[in-house]
Amino acid sequence: MTEKTKIAVLVSGGGTNLQALIDAQQNGALKSGEIVLVVSNRTSAYALERAKKAGIETAVLLRREYGERFEDRLIEILREKKIELIIMAGFLSILDEKFTRAFPRRIINVHPSLIPSFCGKGYYGLRVHEEALRYGVKVTGATVHYVNEITDGGEIISQKAVEIQTGDTPEILQERVMRQAEWILLPAAAEKVSKEIMERKEARKAMDIYKINTPEELIAGNSYVGRGIVVGKTQDGKKAAAAYFIMGRSENSRNRIFVEKNGEVFTQPYDETKVKDPSLIIYAAIRSFENDLIVTNGNQTDTICDFLKEGKTFSEALATREFEPDAPNLTPRISAILHFGNGDFTYEMSILKSADAQGSACSRYTFSYRPLPGLGHFLHTYVCDGNPIPSFQGEPERMTVDDEIDVFTARLWNSLDPDNKISLYVRYIDLATGETENRLVNKNV
């Protein structure tokens, strides 16, 4: 899950707006962002005490100490803390264009009037309310806006009107505007902008097509990914890796174990007396032919071997097969083949899936790869649990492959749902020597 937006609040005085933000964070109104830093340009600002009471880190930055480097140092502090949103809550220091350009659309400010009235250079504190009363306006209010190089000139995010009453003084009006507008608008705007920042981060994360995910990221928390194949190369580039696991929901599916015979892996019943339909659950999962290693989730393993013996290809073999006839799920057939030679290997992966909910036609997809260190590809039968169970979508997912077989085996096995996982087999092949390491894990023992 994407981390909350990191917020810094800039203050100069008592910090009533800061307190409104802290209260919103504590009561859940501000849930997409987290205040991680409060910065003041005055050592005496009571806002610093409010922050400390809330357990928020504080910093004091005095313009007289830094002079022209004030903004540079402030930028440094905010970047060190990886701040994503800056809230100016009564910060009585004009920041230059260099600062605003360093954080475009990442700085917001609350101003105690309905911009464009009573705003701009010199309009802050009581003066805003004094001018509103002097002009005799009947309505004032507050505005939250983005900060740019023009004082109070950034895009407006939200506004709220407040009625001016007979007998108002600047102090009374200031208090009413804070209670009826600022303390409501600012937390809401902070949540709105924080959420937008989070969504953009999530979108960027989703668009990182070259990210290599961990087994935990791809499997953990998903109760039913079905059967899965992982093929890739270890991070040190020395070994090929192939893994296959099975899961099950029904008694018939769960009544299985893996067994290894002469380097080949088969599924077989754990309790033969409980077998109802062996056709889709009993098969050779891993077989070898010459310099090829075949891994599949069904009896297409034998089909591929037979075609290779005839000098034909992986794709030609699978062109004769289709998804499993287990309506309404129409489980995809997934397959992989590793071609070894010249101290390295290449691999292909395939999925055969129904073209529609009725099983009217089969769609066939084949993916060919030249291995990269640390990168594996993960193909599984289902997206998640369901009724019917939704078939896998898209390209094989990118998964990290650990150097140590025991580490990789444990990460895969521990990521699988504890109720539905059945068996896992992992094989590492040393590309220099051809030696293999195997790990077999059965839930039913």
What are the catalytic residues?
111
CA distances from 6 to 31, 80, 188, 193 (A): 11, 12, 16, 11
